[in-house]
Chain A
Amino acid sequence: MLLEELIGIAEKQREVRKQICVRCCMSAGCMSSQSAEVKTALEKAVAERQMGDLIEVRRVGCMGLCGPGPLVSVEPNSLLYEHVTPENAGSIIDALTSAGPIKAERCDPQHPFFTRQTLVVRANGGRIDPERIEDYIEAGGYRALHHVLTEMQPPQAIEAIIKSGLRGRGGAGYPTGLKWATVAKSVGKQKFVVCNGDEGDPGAFMDRSVLESDPHSVIEGMAIAGYAIGADQGFIYVRAEYPLAISRLQVAIRQAKQHGLIGSAIFESTFNFNVDIRIGAGAFVCGEETALMASIEGKRGQPRPRPPFPAESGLWGFPTLINNVETFANIAPIINRGPEWYAGFGTEKSKGTKVFALTGKIQNTGLIEVPMGITIREIVEELGGGAPEGAKLKAVQTGGPSGGCIPAEHFDASIDYESLTQLGSIMGSGGMVVMDDQTNMVEVARFYMQFCMEESCGKCVPCRAGTVQMYHLLAKIAARQATMKDLELLEELCDLVKNTSLCGLGQTAPNPVLSTLRYFRNEYLELLQPAG
């Protein structure tokens, strides 16, 4: 593959494009409400009306507003329809030629849900067909890889990522460029690039959507990383619960290989890079990097103490770079548009944009990409459209089982790594679950503790045996059978498990308890019995 061929593919795409493009979301969310049937109906309607020369029906990835799916959009008319059914799909086509009334529900593309977003990672979502590499190339895909391979030395590529200020999107927010530099410096006969697509945090589906809607962006990011650190093999670890993401990735890898965009001598350089998929098997702890690597090695997914960090000794003992799906998806845009452009978004210490999965008791549920530094209130009230009728918002949970609940009085806090940590929660991977005043916070803490207890790998004592005891205490409190003494014991346990557990799962397992105790202590106290 040469640059000319790449440009050729993009141009050919533009030539064969029809005047009108009807896009039908084929992501897991919309597909569960029959979007495949909707697409067939749309295609049938076009064929019946013999408008195949004018209108193209395209399968696309996630448009973001997953709640009222299936979604269908029409370009260039900028129309958007929600709750589309196979029955009323035909009327969308009719409306294009004013041959009939629209029976499908209109959705306002000018709603703040859409206009307040800044799309970097999700720019192709809802626009391109994720199963056609030509679509990705037309949208400028693989140009960044070409640029890096032909115009940049590996240290320059790393420098660009450092300058962009990008921090890991998998939860901890470690500066990506620094991590790359460390792995680049490590010596080893072999090095690996691993993409963490385990996304085990319940309430999060950003990575699923990126993999389903724009798989090539992750592959391109990994290849650039491979060049920068000197690796020729990449692994994408995807959880088994995401079959559609797995199959789209398989298609994407095959197409990229066929086009010589991964494999050997990419863009006629000396750089070789291959990507393989490894499928998880249902264990939250496998999102932790050392557990994930054990799992790729075919073992029980149990973490091990760090150091040594994967950067020195990772997969099979070789230096390994491990980044999150969204982190990799940010790489090509940063190279294409420059680190300064990227660093222009966000706050001083948290640059760029972040994708959040907005769910729970809120009008608009779905995926949003917003610049860092936006407030929780803007997200919840403007993009999210506020509480459903009659409900009053109480808190937003971020960071899943490792995070905490941020109460309504702190909704003016800015979304960045530091502020969220200060509030006793974490950025986490991007799950944002909105809770209303019907939500019982002790129950929420119990819910998360049950999760951690069942997901604890069992290796270290504080987490294995401590989460069980915390769960029992929470259940006892919820059942109005506990006294102040039990609450004190619970707090002692939180302190123990947080400070003595081996890996991040145990170290953060007490967070949901600690944050609900911090902001909603009364709800606990009301349930306590006088000491008997």
Chain B
Amino acid sequence: MKVVKPALPSPDKRWKIVDAKMRRFGYQGHALIETLHAVQQSFGYLDEEALRFVVKALHVPPSRVYGVATFYNFFTLKPQGVHTCVVCLGTACYVKGAERVLAAIERAAGIKSGETTPDNQLSLLTVRCIGACAIAPAVVYDGNVSGKQTAEQAVEKLKGYLHNAA
């Protein structure tokens, strides 16, 4: 069967990055996870338009694409806030009180883990272990790891985020 390459969903340059990734894999189905990584890195999340494009480009059944996208914690189908705060809930962090840090952040931000503030400024997430156990408890603010966090420090840091927004 001749492979028909679907048109990019829009002239947005970011699609070119996604397309380049798929091309590197010869548009084969096993590129699915790498492609979803590329989409999420470019757009921040996986929306339906993107998933449908991936379905057509890689010739993978839609239910499989959706199944993969929802199997892995790293992928998100919803847009994230301007800032992200990821609390590590690995064992070392847990032993050193990460749950208290998380609870304090949840209280301060008024959202639960996995949610985004209504003003779209902050997404709060948790992660299994980022391997920063020696400096537990660890929190990742906008991609930067901070170690030995106390509840107060974390809340202080987030105030900056929520404040900047205003």
Contacts and interface: CB of A to CB of B under 8 A. Distances in A.
Interface of A: 28-29, 31-33, 66-67, 69, 199-205, 208-209, 240-242, 278-284, 295-301, 357-361, 365-367, 397, 400, 431, 433, 435, 439, 447-448, 451, 455, 457
Nearest to B60: A298
B145 interface: yes
Nearest to A200: B128
B130 interface: yes
Contact of A203 (B64, B71, B91): B91
A455 B127 CA distance: 12
Given A28-B132, A66-B134, A300-B68, A241 B127 contact: yes
B147 interface: yes
A295 B31 CA distance: 10
B67 interface: yes
Given A32-B132, A298-B32, 4 more contacts: A202-B93, A241-B131, A397-B91, A433-B133
B65 to A, nearest CB: 10
B92 A359 contact: yes
A365 B67 contact: no
A279 to B, nearest CB: 6
Given A281-B74, A447-B94, A66 B135 contact: yes
24 contacts: A29-B135, A31-B145, A66-B134, A67-B135, A202-B90, A202-B92, A202-B128, A241-B127, A242-B131, A278-B33, A279-B34, A282-B128, A283-B71, A284-B128, A298-B68, A299-B32, A357-B133, A365-B136, A366-B134, A400-B91, A433-B95, A447-B94, A448-B91, A451-B128
A366 B136 CA distance: 11
B44 to A, nearest CB: 15
A205 B95 contact: no
Given A282-B74, A296-B30, A202 B129 contact: yes
Contacts of A66: 134-135
A397 B31 CA distance: 38
Interface in B73-97: 73-75, 89-96
B129 A278 contact: no
A295 B33 contact: yes
Contact of A205 (B30, B71, B132): B132
Contacts of B132: 28-29, 32, 205
B129 A241 contact: yes
Contacts of B133: 203-205, 357, 359, 365, 431, 433
A360 B95 contact: yes
Interface in B116-157: 127-136, 138, 144-147
A203 B72 contact: no
Contacts of B135: 29, 32-33, 66-67, 69, 365
Contacts of B29: 298
Contact-size category for B: 35 or more
Contacts of B145: 28, 31-32
A168 to B, nearest CB: 20
B91 A281 contact: no
Contacts of A284: 128
A202 B126 CA distance: 13
B36 interface: yes
B91 A433 contact: yes
A448 B75 CA distance: 23
Kindly list the 7 A-B residue pairs having the minimum CB-CB distance in the complex, ordered from nearest. Answer: A66-B134, A282-B73, A281-B72, A202-B90, A205-B131, A203-B91, A202-B129
A42 B90 CA distance: 33
Given A200-B129, A284-B128, A32 B147 contact: yes
A204 B129 contact: yes
A242 B31 CA distance: 20
Contacts of A455: 128
Given A66-B134, A281-B36, A298-B32, A203 B75 contact: no
Nearest to A283: B72
B159 to A, nearest CB: 20
Given A299-B68, A359-B136, A279 B37 contact: yes
A297 B30 contact: yes
Contacts of B127: 241, 282
Nearest to A316: B30
Contacts of A296: 30
Nearest to B144: A32
B87 to A, nearest CB: 13
